Amino acid sequence: MNSTVRVSNPFWIDEKHDFISSLQTHPRIIHADLPTNNDEYDIVIIGTGLSGVACAYWLRKLYPVERFPRILLLEKNARPCSGASGRNGGFLWPSYDYIAGYVEDYGYENACQWVEFQHENIRAIAEAVEENQIDCEININRGNVALARNEEELENINKSYEIVKDYIGKHPKTKMSLDNLELWDHQKCQEMLHSEKFIGGMFMRESGTVWVAKLVYGLLKYCLEQAGVDLMTQSKVIRIEDSKKVFLENGRVILAHQAIVHATNAYAVEYLDFVRGKIIPTRGQCSRSKPIETIFWPFGLSARDGREYYHQSPIDGRITLGGCRWRSPDTENNNQNDSEINDLIREEHERFFAKWHPGIAMKNHTVEIEQEWTGIMAFTVDELPLIGPLPGDNHQFLLCGYNGEKIFFRSEF
Ligand SMILES: Cc1cc2nc3c(=O)[nH]c(=O)nc-3n(C[C@H](O)[C@H](O)[C@H](O)COP(=O)(O)OP(=O)(O)OC[C@H]3O[C@@H](n4cnc5c(N)ncnc54)[C@H](O)[C@@H]3O)c2cc1C
């Protein structure tokens, strides 16, 4: 019997998880169709992915209690965290392996500072998790390896390593450390990967994985315990007027006296003129396997310059795999439909491990897909996120455009 779920059904926000159902009845969660006494707030944050919820969290942390603003979080779906934050691959991965490319695009200093910033943000996320005792399976010390399948990819990895080494030599106060990085040759890859297909790689010790939706729900729970923070679900924003009036699809109008924050990532193109033409909504696909008894790799892996990424749950051996968008190059750009999956990409996921890790099959293991889903990433034309005030408007702020990766580019972290 084929037990594969054919619709887009993200494992991370599956209704069967207790953390989802237990928040549903929270008294501070308002349904947009139900009347309430109040439609006026100081700050309205649109979107309850990691960006929106982290924004509320840090506002709460940074304001003194007596001046804490009244905040409303708006979410178009019935459940918070229904966008990319509930549909990703779960990697926390500073892009050391990309530095050579960043140097070409943004210059030496900017590139190295950018990756150092990513790394610091990962540490800050781990601290916030620790401080709030959020159970989200975070592990930033399991390590990830970026793999090379050909000479060109290997050259980029080696170049990136040399740049980090050079930068550390020139910047003694940097928090980057070569102890964190290890170059793997072909032989080491063979030993570690059940595969002869990879000719080298860069292993990053301090990096790992997290269950992002659990992290978001944990932060949200904290926010909703604070006086002055509400969440309105099924409240799709359709337009803003006078930098103050937030119009919902059901006709309701919310007033934001101090600020509006657009934390809607790729979906911002649906209602915000400024981001149209700057953000290209792009669909990514992930799958999760049935449980596997053997743990093949205790660390995470990525190949083809990060276009395929996978890790195995240390709890039940299930493998989460993302990527292979190249298999269907004409369908996934400018695509905002995350309710269905792409069958061509699915085929590629099905054959991925037999093709790239043949040692697994030789040990009589098969990797069978149990669940799969798509999610919408926000690619930007210059590949940089859109963070800060809307030009010429000191009441509206952008927190979007993360280019399909980097859960940890949140400006707040
Ligand atoms: C398949 C896939 C794999 C990925 N893998 C990784 C990874 O391994 N590591 C990594 O670092 N990053 C990864 N990413 C990227 C990462 O998930 C995103 O950058 C991040 O989650 C974006 O968070 P966000 O809060 O900005 O946006 P989202 O999580 O998309 O949140 C936006 C929220 O706004 C709501 N919304 C949208 N429009 C409206 C409206 N008009 N009114 C009200 N509410 C609205 C949505 O319903 C949603 O809840 C991946 C993304 C995808 C899609």
Residue-wise pLDDT for 97-133, tens only, equals 999 999 999 999 999 999 999 999 999 999 999 999 9
Cα-based distances in Å from 256 to 58, 61, 233, 303: 18, 20, 17, 45
On the question of pLDDT at 306 being above 80, the answer is no
DSSP 380: E
Whether the per-residue pLDDT at 167 is higher than 60: the answer is yes
Query: Which of the pair, 359 or 389, is modelled with greater confidence?
Result: 389
Q: How does residue 405 score in pLDDT terms, banded at 50, 70 and 90?
A: low
For the chain, what is the mean pLDDT? 93
Ligand 1, atom 35, residue with closest C-alpha:
47
Secondary structure of residue 167 in the 3-state scheme: helix
| Residue 395: band (very low, low, confident or very high) from pLDDT cuts 50, 70, 90 | very high
Q: Is the dihedral of CA 380, 381, 385, 390 positive or negative?
A: negative
The C-alpha atoms of residue 298 and residue 199 are separated, in whole angstroms, by 20
Q: Per DSSP, what are the bridge partners of residue 29?
A: 231
What is the length of the chain? 413
Q: Is 279 left (phi over 0), alpha (psi -120 to 50) or beta?
A: beta
CATH architecture of 280-380: 2-Layer Sandwich (3.30)
Query: For residue 383, is pLDDT > 70?
Result: yes
3-state class of 255 per DSSP? strand
Number of H helices, E strands in the chain: 9, 19
Ligand 1 atom at minimum distance from 403 CA:
19
Question: What's the pLDDT band for 35 if we cut at 50, 70, 90?
Answer: confident
Residue 43 pLDDT exceeds 90: yes
User: What are the distances in angstroms from CA 316 to CA 288, 296, 312, 339, 388?
Assistant: 11, 12, 8, 26, 41
Tell me which of 76, 93, 398 to substitute to probe ligand 1's pocket, judged by most ligand atoms within 8 Å of the beta carbon: 76
Percentage of the chain exceeding pLDDT 70: 96
CA-CA distance, 23 to 45, in Å (whole number)? 19
Best mutation site among 46, 50, 55, 88 for ligand 1, i.e. most ligand atoms within 8 A of its Cβ? Answer: 88
290 beta partners:
none
Mean pLDDT check: name the lowest of 24-38, 72-86, 303-317, 326-340: 24-38
At 336, the amino acid letter reads: Q
Write the pLDDT tens digit of every residue in 214-254. 999 999 999 999 989 999 999 999 999 999 999 999 999 99
In this structure, CATH architecture of domain 11-87+213-278+383-410: 3-Layer(bba) Sandwich (3.50)
Domain parsing of the chain, residue ranges: 11-87+213-278+383-410, 92-208, 280-380
Mean pLDDT, residues 36-44 taken together = 89
Distance 377 CA to ligand 1 centre (A): 7
Give me the pLDDT at residue 305, please: 77
CB-based pocket (< 6 A), ligand 1: 46-52, 74-77, 81-85, 87-91, 235-237, 263-265, 267, 270-271, 284, 286, 309, 322, 375-377, 400, 402, 404-407
Find the range with the poorest average confidence among 37-51, 53-67, 336-350: 53-67
User: Which residue from 265, 271, 337, 376 has its CB within 8 A of the most atoms of ligand 1, so it is best to mutate?
Assistant: 265
Residue 50 C-alpha to ligand 1 middle, in angstroms?
7
- Average pLDDT of the residues in 358-378: 90
**Entry pTM:** 0.95
- CA dist list (Å): 401 to 84, 264, 315, 379: 11, 9, 33, 6
Q: Tell me the C-alpha distance between 337 and 19, whole Å.
A: 26
Give tens-digit pLDDT for 1-27. Answer: 444 446 899 999 998 899 999 888 899
What is the number of the ligand 1 atom nearest to the C-alpha of 271?
41
**How far lies 271's CA from each of 7, 46, 312, in Å?**
27, 11, 38
